[in-house]
């Protein structure tokens, strides 16, 4: 699917639907998905084109285009999970044997400050479900209840 250069003539809701379909189906000239990080440039280029044609809203910023941006974000996330883009695949889980070795070698536990930090990170990741660095950084003592 391609979007014609007269996209600025579409009403807001219609353009949003067009963009949803476009983002879901867009491929490079070889028929492969684009890298997830190129989607940001794609939306910026389309937005710049629309601004140049005096389109009343921004497809990158305005809430009227929220659903089309969600389609693009979901596609980018799926591609990253499949190992595409600058970010590597998510880390694999430790095996039970690898975890036992970390406990045995005091990499986990309370024997050193480093082991305590490693253990807290492990517990928060495995039991609480925190994954990204930012989630770990944002957690506060008040977030827990005894």
Q: What is the tens place of the pLDDT at every residue in 31-61?
A: 888 888 888 888 899 899 899 999 999 999 9
DSSP letter for each residue of 101-145: HHHHTTSSSSSSHHHHHHHHHHHIIIII---SHHHHHH--GGG--
- Predicted confidence (pLDDT) per residue in 12-25, tens digit: 899 999 999 999 99
Residue 89 lies in a domain: no
* Pair (50, 22) in one structural domain: yes
| Domains contained in the chain, number | 2
The owner of tokens 């807290």 is 120
* Pair (34, 57) in one structural domain: yes
Task: Note down the domain range covering 33.
Answer: 7-81
Q: Distance between CA 52 and CA 61 in Å, rounded?
A: 16
* Pair (102, 72) in one structural domain: no
* Pair (60, 107) in one structural domain: no
Residue 73 lies in a domain: yes
- How far are the Cα atoms of 21, 39, 85 from residue 15, in angstroms, in the given order? 10, 17, 27
- Pick from 81, 109, 130: which residue ends a domain? 81
Residue 2 lies in a domain: no
The owner of tokens 């639907």 is 17
- Predicted confidence (pLDDT) per residue in 128-138, tens digit: 666 666 666 77
- Predicted confidence (pLDDT) per residue in 103-146, tens digit: 999 999 999 999 998 888 888 777 766 666 666 677 777 766 66
Residue 34 lies in a domain: yes
* Pair (76, 111) in one structural domain: no
Residue 91 lies in a domain: no
């Amino acid at each position: 699917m391609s979007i014609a250069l007269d996209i600025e003539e579409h009403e807001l809701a219609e353009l949003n639907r067009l963009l949803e379909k476009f983002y879901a189906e867009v491929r490079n000239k070889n028929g492969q998905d684009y890298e997830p990080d190129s989607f940001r440039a794609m939306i910026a280029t389309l937005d710049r084109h629309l601004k140049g044609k005096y389109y009343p809203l921004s497809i990158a910023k305005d809430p009227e285009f929220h659903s089309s941006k969600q389609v693009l974000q979901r596609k980018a996330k799926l591609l990253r999970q499949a190992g595409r883009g600058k970010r590597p695949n998510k880390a694999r889980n430790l095996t039970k044997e690898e975890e036992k070795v970390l406990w045995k070698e005091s990499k986990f536990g309370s024997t050193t400050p480093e082991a305590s930090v490693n253990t807290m990170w492990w517990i928060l990741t495995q039991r609480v479900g925190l994954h990204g660095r930012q989630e770990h950084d944002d957690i506060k003592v008040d977030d827990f209840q005894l």
